[in-house]
Structure 1
């Protein structure tokens, strides 16, 4: 991490500035932010940025292989398989923990990946407010590939809206206004004009979908910017008796198609290799259980937000798993507290966010998201009662 930028930031930081930053960040929003925002952004060195770029390129190359759809077919649960899958994921997110190599230098290590949208709208808003509150220099950016904010929003618009009008493309989640990430939904609506709807708002007529506009007009949906994760409705087996069954062959485009959520996921990791990839195997393919199990974690393939992960494997844990083909055994990634706060080190996770509009040969690395942690894991429930933790963004030299 960039020590000079960190020193300057910490010397000028005050709790009053942070409080004002949070007020400004929430001003004018349709929904307040419902997750903790960290006191500070991350400042990357050129060297670490370049390592992230290399890691991302190696992973994207694996996803672009001609047989990727074939090898990832088993990743999609039968009950959540959706018709009319397209050729590629429109969004790719790669999560890296910041670790250290044997020489003590910070290096990224892949934690997870997903073929699903993240906070593409919110991150641009967040960075603007960090920049204003803390006078972050103009030669620092959160964007990649030479993108400015306007260029980034053009790429986002191209990816999500494509050839349609903004009101023909809806951002859809199961209960959109009440999601913790609803702030991102409404910021995205402000940036590119896509209305926010819930699953129950979809009106089906034949194989077409409609929604009601704010003035009560029934409007045809040409594309769904999908933010729904099927895990969130898994506890309601009758859900599609009450709402449109979006798994059926409907005359609508998906951005991104739900099947890509599973194809690009923990399931992909055993097929990856490289300096920045922890050794990962499907549990049913592990021939010899490692003796140093304290250096591994067990992860279920079909869960999200860290649910079901066994961080500290105990005797008998592996033997008790009834479906080993649906689990991975992964080399443990040890986050290092490389970000200096006023009262100690903080661990960092950085998410690279790609956009892949129709017509492009491959995805474009566009922007990033970062999370700070002092807990055992990165998630919210592991960081209660801590400061200098939560959602943030990484700045780097243009």
Structure 2
């Protein structure tokens, strides 16, 4: 990554600055942040940024192809299929590992993708606090396509609220105030004015939905959906207790839940390019590779890395009863290119797109980054480490 800015940052870093940064970061939130925030942002070189842009464009081109919905019909589990699907996802997130290619160049490699929102509000807040606490140079930005904080929030507003009033659009999750990402919900509420509600707060009358605000019933025109069905899978009776959101309802979804499945690991076998690891549906693999140590097995319908077999052993493939629901993917090896005070750290960069209804295609808007020293990027693999966790990537304007 950018060596000159990294050197300056590390020379000026102190634990006291980091502690003050965390205090200030939490001071602007309704609840304390429940996930680890890294000691540092990422500083991208122009070359790596341009490679990310190229990779993103190639992937989005596949999503934009006619017939993409037909191609991904099987991706949606029937029990979680939701009525009134629209024509495209309002959000696209592409996760890239920072790797080294055969020529020794630092390149992005696609890890995963999703048609689902990420921390679109929190990342703005996070970057502002990094900038203030660590004196990030003014020529560095977290935004793409020439966006500024103001124009970015305008695009976010256009995507989420559209033609409605802010109080007609709700941010909804299964138990919103107690989610680890609740900090993003409430920051978004602050930026856009959209109230935060839980699944149990929805009130159905006919095919219309309402929520209560200070004792008054308010009509819901749009749901900014943050609910992932995996999180309610353990309660098969849940829709006997709350509104069954799968039914035809007079409400718009931002983004529609079906897109969570369409743009997902399921899409990987249909992608090609220098920055895409070779991926096949397991049931379509004609010959099992001899070098299985260079591959991973991933279940299509799992969340947050659950069920992934990183080190494939003899017999693992044969044990899988539903190979059509698994992918065999070329292993991506992260290169620990971020220099911390005591060694290299692995990086993942998530490109975040916004796609308002009125636009012909999505706009790459902002990013999220994660740092890791463990075997995988997730929290469970990085306990007890420092210079790991959630962060954001800065790049030249």
TM-score w.r.t. length of structure 1:
0.99
Distance 1:177 1:239 in 2: 18
Superposed CA offset, 1:140-175 (max 9, x none): 000000000000000000000000000000000000
Q: Deviations 1:216-247 (Å, cap 9, x if unpaired)?
A: 11000000000000000011110000000000
Question: Does 2:376 align with 1:391?
Answer: no
Counterparts of 1:13 and 1:102 in 2: how far apart (Å)? 34
Q: Which residue of 1 aligns with 2:376?
A: 377
Q: Deviations over 1:331-367 (max 9, x none)?
A: 0000010000000000000000000001100000000
State the Cα distance separating 1:312 from its structure 2 match: 0.2
Deviations 1:49-68 (A, max 9, x none): 00000000000000000010
SS at match of 2:317: coil
Partner of 1:318, secondary structure, is: helix
- What corresponds to 1:367 in structure 2? 366
CA distance in 2, matches of 1:151, 1:50: 22
Query: Secondary structure of the equivalent of 1:396?
Result: strand
SS in 1 for 2:108: strand
> In structure 1, what is the equivalent of residue 110 of structure 2?
110
Which sections of structure 1, spanning at least 5 residues, go unmatched? none
Which residue number corresponds to residue 218 of structure 2?
219
Cα displacement (A) at 1:77: 0.2
TM-superposed deviation, 1:103: 2.2
Q: Which residue of structure 2 aligns with residue 276 of structure 1?
A: 275
Secondary structure of 2:319's counterpart equals: coil
Within-5 A mapping of 1:70-219? 70-211=70-211, 216-219=215-218
Residue 323 of structure 1: how far off its partner (Å): 0.2
The CA distance in 1 between the partners of 2:10 and 2:249, in whole Å, is 53
CA distance in structure 2 between the partners assigned to 1:85 and 1:102 by the alignment: 43
Q: Secondary structure at the match of 1:228?
A: coil
Aligned partners of 1:76 and 1:29: how far apart in 2? 35
CA distance in 1 between counterparts of 2:262 and 2:385 reads: 35
Render the CA deviation track for 1:7-28: whole Å, top value 9, x for unaligned.
0000000000000000000003
Question: Which residue does 1:28 correspond to in 2?
Answer: 28
Distance across 2 between alignment mates of 1:232 and 1:114: 16
Q: How far is 1:179 from its partner?
A: 0.2
SS in 2 for 1:319: helix
Report the counterpart of residue 257 of structure 1 in structure 2: 256
CA distance in 1, matches of 2:327, 2:101: 24
Instruction: Report the count of equivalent residues.
Output: 394
Residues in 1 aligned to 2:157 and 2:343: alpha-carbon distance in whole angstroms: 41
Q: State the Cα deviation string for residues 161-194 of structure 1 (Å, max 9, x = none).
A: 0000000000000000000000000000000011
Give 1:105 deviation, angstroms.
1.5
User: Secondary structure, in 3 states, of the residue corresponding to 2:121?
Assistant: helix
Distance 1:347 1:156 in 2: 30
Aligned-residue Cα RMSD (Å) equals 0.4
Scaled by the length of structure 2, what TM-score is found? Answer: 0.99
Q: Give the CA deviation at 1:31.
A: 1.1
Q: How far apart are 1:101 and its partner, in Å? A: 1.2
Q: Report runs of 4+ in structure 1 exceeding 3 Å deviation.
A: none
- Classify the secondary structure of the residue corresponding to 1:120: coil
